[in-house]
Chains A and B, each alone.
Chain A
Amino acid sequence: MELRAAAKAAFERVAAASAGRLLEPFEAYSHYMELGGSHWFTASPHAKPEPATTNVANKGDNNFVFVGFGGALPRVVRFRGPGNVIFLGPHSAASGALFDVQGADSLTYVGAFTTMETAASVFARPPASVIIGDHCYIGERVQASGSDHHGIYSLASRQRINNNRDILIGDRVFVGANTRINKGVVMEPGGIVLGGSIVTGTIRSNCAYHGVPARLIHEDVAWGSDAERFDDLDAALASAEESVAVRIDALKTRIATFTSRGAA
């Protein structure tokens, strides 16, 4: 298949997973580079990184990385298997992060304006996907893995009981440093996990959790960097750094431009 067409097919999987989040259309991803045999499409011109900056190990065909406008290139990307897609949203900041994909046809999605700190790691193990929403904060050395990496079996049925499962993280979720996010975890929008926790199961919207395993410690809370209170996401963003609001507006304009151009 022609590369551009294959990339478009891959991007359609990103669009399907975006679920109304801030996403530029495929036409915006006009800058191409090949890193270690994997195909990178970026919405803003990135210089081809030095090997020390972005370390790509690619074993497999048809592996795609999309980096939205203003998004950073990650520190380490490993593909072991074909047909995988990694999406890093516009203005996402995952420059110190690690993405490790083993298997075929997985999707890793990091939303717009989401920050992943140094050595935050995503281990995508197909058929499970890892979806992280917009405006999230993922602290240092957080590890999110869709797999236990080894099989666990019931002696009675002799079947595997720890199959790979999706990790679904909603918008504006906070994950503190050193937290481990297990397979099958769902974090609802506005959820908070304090550092050093091990997350299993579901993190409810606007609730804070902590511990091993993570347990509920506060209900009906929101997080921010310095403001004193937040009523909802829009208010939070309005009272957050002005530059963020400006960039969101600019991004929406940018998306609208591409969309109208495509329509015309």
Chain B
Amino acid sequence: MRLARDDLVRRALDRVRGLSASKLIEPAPAYEVFDRGDHVRLVSGADALEPGMVWMDGADNVLITGFNAKVRRHCAFRVRGRGNVIFFGAYSQVASTNVVIEGNDNLVSFGAFATSSSSAFRIAGDGEHILVGDRCMFSSRITVGDADPLVIYDRKTGRRVDQRRNVVIGDHTWLAREVRVEPGAVIGADTIVGQGAVVTGVHPANVILAGAPSTVRTSGVNWSRNEDESLDAMEASTHYKILYLAARDAVVARIAGLGGAARDESKAV
């Protein structure tokens, strides 16, 4: 039985808000709701772009894009199952990015101000999630998760060996070209993942990860999109002050105006 549309919208947004590390998630009144037949589409802001291909086989699947999110052509979202949610946060910019979900009640959440130039997010399972924090930067040919419906069992106990299949990528993390993030991986905030790395396991914040499987190569670092000479120069730059801080404040104000509560009180770099 299909859920009533209002219930579906509320449940999807609660799910995103409850799980996501993203601190800039607009409340329900921000969105215009469209019934697309095979899925429900929530759009915030007038100048939203539509992905090239959305194919959802099943029921109660929801696609949400936040304020001014640019989900460009050449993006393809394929979902087979029920109750799945795909979320792209405010001011996110996504091109040539695929989301493939096979199963029920899964969530792929891509944070506010995050960008992706060609990535694939894959989930095969039920109740799993891939969470990408705010302001992440995904380079080209990145794979997150795994489309194989693989479960490994211990032959003695009969229990699952690989319990963890959810992926969590912290705020402001830079994934370089051809990185693979395996199911179960947790990447901390302000981290750099080097080219071609295969990330498994749990990693702290402010590090450089590299290699296959990846290990921590350097600790105590941070990065920026600009090539400024120092963090101080970066924080003084127009790029940071206007394009990020001012836009973020606008989103925070928008969320507050709509009766929501932004949780972004941290001083982000």
Contacts of B35 in A (CB 8 A): none
A214 to chain B, nearest CB (A): 11
Q: In the assembled complex, how far is the CB of residue B170 from the closest CB belonging to chain A, in whole angstroms?
A: 15
- In the complex, are the beta carbons of A150 and B221 less than 8 A apart? no
B21 at the A/B interface (Cβ < 8 Å)? Answer: no
Chain B residues with Cβ below 8 Å from A198 are 194-196
Q: Produce 1/0 per residue, B190-214, CB < 8 A to A.
A: 0010111100000000101011100
Residue contact B230 to A160, C-beta cutoff 8 Å: yes
Cβ distance B132 to chain A, nearest Cβ, rounded Å: 17
Contact pick for A153, options B177, B195, B221, CB 8 Å:
B221
Q: Are B223 and A149 in contact, with the CB atoms below 8 A?
A: no
Whether A151 and B224, one on each chain, are in contact in the complex, defined by CB atoms closer than 8 angstroms, is yes
B221 engages A154 (CB within 8 Å): yes
Q: Are B227 and A150 in contact (CB under 8 A)?
A: yes
Contacting residues, chain A, for B192 (C-beta < 8 A): 152
A212 to B217, CA, bound (A): 14
Residue of chain A at shortest CB distance from B232: A158
Whether a CB of chain A sits under 8 angstroms from the CB of B234 is yes
Contact A147 B227 (CB under 8 A): yes
Contact partners of B222 in chain A: CB under 8 A: 152-153, 155
In chain B, positions 145-196 with a C-beta closer than 8 Å to chain A are: 174, 177, 192, 194-196
Q: How many angstroms between the C-alpha atoms of A182 and B234 in the bound complex?
A: 24
A156: chain B residues within 8 A (beta carbon): 220
CB neighbours (8 Å) of A154 from chain B are 220-221
Using C-beta atoms within 8 Å of the partner chain, give the interface range for chain A. Answer: 10 to 19
- Measured between alpha carbons, how far is A153 from B226 in the docked complex, in Å? 11
Given known A150-B227, A154-B220, contact A213–B211 (CB-CB < 8 A) = yes
The answer to the question of B225 belonging to the interface, with a C-beta cut-off of 8 Å to chain A, is: yes
A159 touches B (CB below 8 Å): yes
Residue B229 lies at the interface, judged by CB distance under 8 Å to chain A: yes
> Knowing A180-B196, A212-B212 touch, does A151 contact B234 (C-beta < 8 A)?
yes
Q: How far is the CB of A101 from chain B (nearest CB, A)?
A: 15
Q: How far is the CA of A213 from the CA of B215 in the complex (A)?
A: 12
B213 CB to nearest A CB, Å: 11
Query: Given A159-B230, A180-B195, A198-B196: A153 and B211 within 8 A (CB)?
Result: no
A161–B208 alpha-carbon span in the complex (Å): 12
Please indicate which of the listed interface residues A156, A182, A212, A213 has the most CB atoms of chain B within 10 Å of its own CB. Answer: A212
Which of A151, A155, A180 lies in contact with B220, CB distance below 8 A?
A155
| Contact bitstring A180-212, B, C-beta under 8 A = 1, else 0 | 101000000000000000100000000000001
Q: What CA separation (Å) do A159 and B223 show in the bound complex?
A: 10
- A93 to nearest B CB, angstroms? 26
Instruction: Decide if B231 is an interface residue (CB 8 Å cutoff).
Output: yes
Instruction: Please report the C-alpha to C-alpha distance between residue A94 and residue B174 in the assembled complex, in whole angstroms.
Output: 32
Shortest beta-carbon distance from B106 to chain A in Å: 30
Q: Hey, which chain A residues are within 8 Å of B225, CB to CB? A: 150-151
Q: Which residues of B contact A159 (CB under 8 A)?
A: 229-231
In this complex, the member of B192, B212, B227, B228 whose beta carbon has the largest number of chain A beta carbons within 10 angstroms is B227
What B residues does A158 contact at CB under 8 A? 230-232
Q: Is B137 an interface residue (CB 8 A)?
A: yes
A150 to B227: give the CA distance in the assembly, Å. Answer: 5
Cβ 8 A contact of A150, one of B137, B208, B210, B230: B137
Residue of A nearest to B196 (CB): A212
Contact indicator B221/A152 (Cβ below 8 Å): yes
Check A151 against B226 for contact (C-beta < 8 Å). yes
Chain A residues, CB < 8 A from B232: 158
Least CB separation from A161: chain B residue = B221
Interface residues as binary, B224-255 with A (CB distance below 8 Å gives 1, 0 otherwise): 11111111101000000000000000000000
Are A152 and B208 touching (Cβ within 8 A)? Answer: yes
Determine the distance from Cα of A181 to Cα of B232 in the docked complex, in whole angstroms: 30
Contacts of B194 in A (CB 8 A): 198
Partner of B223, one of A150, A180, A213: A150
**How far is B206's CA from A153's CA once the two chains are assembled, in angstroms?**
10
CB neighbours of B208 from chain A (8 A): 152
Tell me the B residues contacting A by CB distance below 8 Å: 137, 174, 177, 192, 194-197, 206, 208, 210-212, 220-232, 234
Starting from the known contacts A151-B225, A151-B227, A180-B177, 12 additional A-B residue pairs (CB-CB under 8 Å) come to: A150-B227, A151-B223, A151-B234, A152-B223, A153-B222, A158-B230, A158-B232, A159-B229, A198-B195, A212-B196, A213-B210, A213-B211
Residue numbers of A with Cβ under 8 A of B are: 147, 149-156, 158-161, 180, 182, 198, 212-213
Closest 10 CB pairs of A and B: A158-B231, A212-B196, A155-B220, A152-B223, A151-B224, A153-B231, A159-B230, A151-B227, A198-B196, A153-B222
